Structure formats: C-alpha cells, structure tokens
Amino acid sequence: MPLRLGSRVFADTDLVVMAIVNRTPDSFFDRGATYRTAAALDAVDRVVTEGADIVDIGGVKAGHGDPVPPAEEIRRVAGMVTAVRDRYPELVISVDTWRAEVARAVVDAGADLINDTWAGTDPDLAAVAAAGGVGLVCSHTGGLSPRTDPHRTAYDDVVADVIGHVTRLAQRAVDLGVPADRIVIDPTHDFGKNTWHSLEVTRRLPELVATGWPVLVAVSHKDFIGETLDLPVDEREEGTLATLAVSAWLGARVFRVHRVRAARRALDMVASLRGDRPPAVARRGLA
C-alpha cells in the first residue's frame, strides 16, 4: 500500500530517504555538530538539497549518556520542528522519541511522524500519534529499556521475534486510530541485538516485507557494520551503502541515514536496476 506522511504519498516502489539531524551534544556519529539551532537548520538545508524525503530530528542520544528530562528533550526538538516546518512546508518531518509528552509537543509543532525507536516503551505514545493524525514507526528492541545496550541477548528466532513484536505494535496503533497507511515497521538493527542478529535480520528482510507493512531500515554507521568490517564509526560508509543497497533490493522502503547524498545515489541506482526508475540520461549508443 502507499505510505502517507504529511502531504506526501510514497508509492510501494519509492525508496524513501530519511535524513538524521540530531539536536544532541553527544551523538555517536557527529559528536554534537548539529546541536546548536543554526547548525541544525544548516544541516536540514543541506540534506533537503541532497535529496532527503524525510528529516528525522532527535533530541536524546540512543545510547548511554547524561539523563535528558522530557522538558529538555522538548526544548531541543519542538522549536526545531516549528522552524523546519516554516522553512519547508511540504517536507515530511519526523521526530525520534519514545515519550508521549514529547510526541504531543512535536505534533503540535508540526511533525508528521513519530519515530519510536524504543518499541512502545511508553504505551501512550501510539494514542498521541492517533490523536494527532500522524504516522508512527513501530520498532523492536527485544525488551530493552531506553538507552541501554544488549548483553548476551538470545532468541530462538530473532526474525520471528521481530515480526511478532512490530506487527503487534502496528495492529495496536491501528486499533487506537492511527491510519494503517501511516505506519512503518523497523527491525531496529543493533537495538536488543548483537552483530549476528542484525546480519540475520538484514538477510531475512523479505519476511518483514511479507507482513505488508512498509519496512524502515536504520543501519547507518551502526556497530554491526563496524564489527563486521572491524572499522570505527567514521570509516563505515562503504558498509552502510552496501547494506542499504541490499536492503532496498530485498524490499525495504525507508532508509534512515546520516549522509544523504551517497545514500540517495545508491538507492536511485537500485531503483533503476529494479526497473522502477529510468536513467537520468541515456546517450550511450543512441547518438
């Protein structure tokens, strides 16, 4: 089915780029480069130019770090949503939060999507999405609490566990009033998973695609790529692009990334190889 977010409608053949803009001083990727408002807005301008369809704004680092109270998270993200909405009326704006009170504030500010990367930890969050008429990302963390890392996590079948959890969250969201065409599922690589789990989830993405829900993959520069190639965060670009391309070929539809230009080009190439996008130009052998 099509995916409807804000004023945009994405067909099932569209490969949708979600750009990450973190209003955090301790981001694992950029170490706070976009924490200040001016820098964050400059980053939004850049990723829109580079081809982002969605901008995902986060106010709390996913991993360990200083506590961030809800009021501080709201301060970091709500005003940013308002500023981006004023600047780009048609852009799809997402906010990465697990807290219902934060979700309520950003929906009021103009957000179109709540990216709940902590798998329904706050049971009221889906109701906020429903009341606001916005979309919701349903994720899987293997039962972890927010901002914690897995330790010796084990599954009988990691993909079956992912599918069972995200589809239950999706159905609950529909029951609460979130339109089905505004829901996305995310296997949530690294969250509640070791490197072997994340690799298996990637190989078996067609099983998630077969649920009928649009699949989001958030793999950009993550630890499973770093461990697979034994590389630090700033040297994981090639591994990220390879994982994005394979995920797209296997049926994923939304791709959450730090570096938009390279991801957009890689995904456009996949779309053309699949026959869903014509070449930008075609001169060879025709002149």
pLDDT digits (tens, 9 = 90+) for 223-273: 999 999 999 999 999 999 999 999 999 999 999 999 999 999 999 999 999
Q: What residue spans define the domains of the chain?
A: 3-274
Q: Which CATH architecture has domain 3-274?
A: Alpha-Beta Barrel (3.20)
Name the pLDDT band for 1 (thresholds 50, 70, 90): confident
CB atoms within 10 A of CB 284: 7
Task: For residue 275, give Cα distances in angstroms to 13, 249, 271, 279.
Answer: 10, 11, 6, 10
Residues 85-113 have pLDDT tens digits of 999 999 999 999 999 999 999 999 999 99
Alpha helices by DSSP H, listed for the chain, are 37-50, 70-87, 100-109, 125-132, 158-176, 195-203, 205-209, 223-229, 237-249, 260-274
pLDDT at 66: 86
Q: Where are the alpha helices (DSSP H) in 51-137?
A: 70-87, 100-109, 125-132
Crossing angle for the helix pair 237-249 and 260-274, to the nearest 10 degrees = 30
* Contact status, residue 24 vs residue 61, Cβ threshold 8 Å: yes
Looking at residue 30, its pLDDT comes to 82
Whether residue 206 has pLDDT greater than 90: yes
pLDDT at position 16 is 98
Q: What distance in Å separates the CA atoms of residue 84 and residue 163, rounded to the nearest whole number? A: 34
Asked if the model's pLDDT at residue 177 lies above 80, the reply is: yes
Q: pLDDT (tens digit, 9 = 90+) per residue, 41-84?
A: 999 999 999 999 999 999 999 888 889 999 999 999 999 999 99
Please tell me the predicted confidence (pLDDT) of residue 287.
77
| Whether residue 20 has pLDDT greater than 90 | yes
pLDDT reading at 6 higher than 80: yes
Taking 80 as the threshold, does the pLDDT of residue 161 lie above it?
A: yes
Average pLDDT score over residue span 122-134? 98
User: Residue 285's pLDDT is what?
Assistant: 94
